[in-house]
Amino acid sequence: MRTLFIIKRICKQVLRDKRTLALLFLAPIFVITLLNYIFPDPDDEVTIATVHVDPDIISVLEENQVIVQEETDIDPKAYLEAGHANGVLEEKDGEWTLTIVNDNPINEGPILQKSTQAVMEHNINELVDHIDEAVTKMNEFSAGIEDVLTQLPPEMQPDLDTAPDLQTDTELGIEEEALTVDYVYGDDRYSFFNIINPILVSFFVFFFVFLIAGMAMLKERSSGTLEKLLSTPIRKSELVFGYLFGYGIFAVLQTAVIILFSIYILDMEVAGSIIDMFIINILLSFVALGLGLLLSTFVRSEFQMMQFIPLIIVPQIFFSGMLKIESMEEWLQWLAPFMPLYHAGNAMLDVVLKGFQLSEITASLLILVLFIVIFVTLNILGLRRYRKV
């Protein structure tokens, strides 16, 4: 009976807590629906520019749902950086070269797969044609020899039991045409982790700072410290900036630890400046601080604070640069710029993989600063619910 009493009490508590009910039923539906629209269709077409490529390969690419753009003379790296195609396939002196950007393995995996398949099918077709041609000539030659031999006296006919060795493919003039992959950024040593590691650094900075700031502010409220501070002559803006920069010190230290560990322990290669990485992630940590402090004003317990993770944090990572935004639904493409990790993640990729300078990521940094200003302003306005001034 006591167990039933506890079960009944818990059920009543959960049913009275609308946020918990939303977490249990609405949050999973929201995340699953979001994933349905975010992840690209595996049959999505990719665009490959071809330069002096055999028409047979173009036909194979088109059969594999590849949009082919036939070009004559282009700079592959500049062509790809301008966003005209997903890859450039060239043929020069019997050698095949595929050039890809190499900044997102999820996006470029299908390009490499379909290009390799097309070249392999082309090689197989050529090999079959050479073999058929060689067999036809051998049959014709064999028939002619037999006609001649039948006209000779028996004692002059040669022993045909020992046949000559067959020629190899190379002796017949058949050479396998391999596909060489060229990369705009990095090289073939780049693993999946090397490419997504810059994004993960920013994600963990954002996630843990958000969580710590929200929990700490919640503790200040539940312990009554916030009400005591608001009863003093201190201004709301001074209080917000005090919390922001107070926790910001530890956020900066955490950012430094994550970045330095990734570089010197996990051997993350950085094409750009480490200082630029610090600037991006320090700004992102202050965005997380402002957001965490803001959302903590709407919760009454740590459990309710955790409920914001699937709604606020999880969607961020899908827009951080790991997935191709252009392959998502159009309304999600409009939503992406409103995600702080969208700007921080792409700025990190630009610095770490592409070697961009600070001047080339200024727009992303200014947007992060704008997020900080918005959240700080909302925090100041949100304190009015605790003290009327």
Give 173's pLDDT tier (boundaries 50, 70, 90): very low
| Cross-sheet strand order for the sheet of 87-92 | 66-71, 46-51, 87-92, 95-100, 179-183
pLDDT surpasses 60 at 204: yes
Q: What is the mean pLDDT of residues 11-36?
A: 68
Average pLDDT, the chain: 76
End-to-end CA gap in the chain: 52
pLDDT surpasses 80 at 102: no
Q: What is the mean pLDDT of residues 47-75?
A: 80
Q: What is the mean pLDDT of residues 68-84?
A: 81
pTM: 0.70
- 240 class by beta-carbon count within 10 Å (0-12 exposed, 13-18 middle, 19+ buried): buried
User: pLDDT at position 87, please?
Assistant: 83
User: pLDDT at position 216, please?
Assistant: 79
